[in-house]
Amino acid sequence: MSVTTEVRVRYAETDQMGVVYYANYLVWFEVGRVEVLRTLGLSYRRLETEHQCILPVVEVRCRYRSPARYDDRILIETRPSMLRGAVLKFAYRIFREASQEGNERELLAEGETVHVVCDGQMNRTPLPEKYAAALRSMMADN
């Protein structure tokens, strides 16, 4: 199961060529992660404040397939893809929404992020069970 989040490309996200600057896809990955947790009734904020856990990104991969441009409606599909101990992976696919002219949605990029669950001192720690169980149930639906 994946969570789909819609955003519209802002002018500030484009470069001089009118194409979305590559690093903005990583920001969209983060938007997708936050929405996955929100959909599960969880939050990054509570993970940090109530459980003293953070999820630093330790690896990222992004394959760009087609450029996004100003005012495009973008769909961010996000799903947890692996949870093993303190290591968590999310997978992403970013699409341009289908147009009113009949164009089908188009895959713009796909990738993944790898996170290590840490405490405030950057020591590995297990993901709180409430979060782990919710993410595992989402992975089981795949």
Contact present, 117 and 126 (Cβ < 8 Å): yes
Mind listing the pLDDT tens digit for each residue in 53-101? 999 999 999 999 999 999 999 999 999 999 999 999 999 999 999 776 7
Instruction: For the beta carbon of residue 27, count every other beta carbon within 10 angstroms.
Output: 12
DSSP code for 22: T
Supply angle C-alpha 52, 57, 60, rounded to 5.
165
Domain count, the chain: 1
Which structural domain, as residue segments, surrounds residue 17?
3-140
Mind listing the pLDDT tens digit for each residue in 18-55? 899 999 999 999 999 999 999 999 999 999 999 999 99
Indicate which residue of 15, 71, 72, 119 is catalytic.
15
Q: What are phi and psi of 71, to 5 degrees?
A: 75, 0
pLDDT at 136 over 70: yes
What does the alpha-carbon distance between residue 85 and residue 64 come to, in Å, rounded to a whole number?
30
Instruction: Provide the CATH number for the domain around residue 41.
Output: 3.10.129.10
User: In the structure, what pLDDT confidence band is assigned to residue 123 with cuts at 50, 70 and 90?
Assistant: very high
Tell me whether residue 15 is one of the annotated catalytic residues: yes
Q: pLDDT value at position 1?
A: 86
User: In the structure, what pLDDT confidence band is assigned to residue 142 with cuts at 50, 70 and 90?
Assistant: low
H/E stretch holding 112 reads strand 106-116
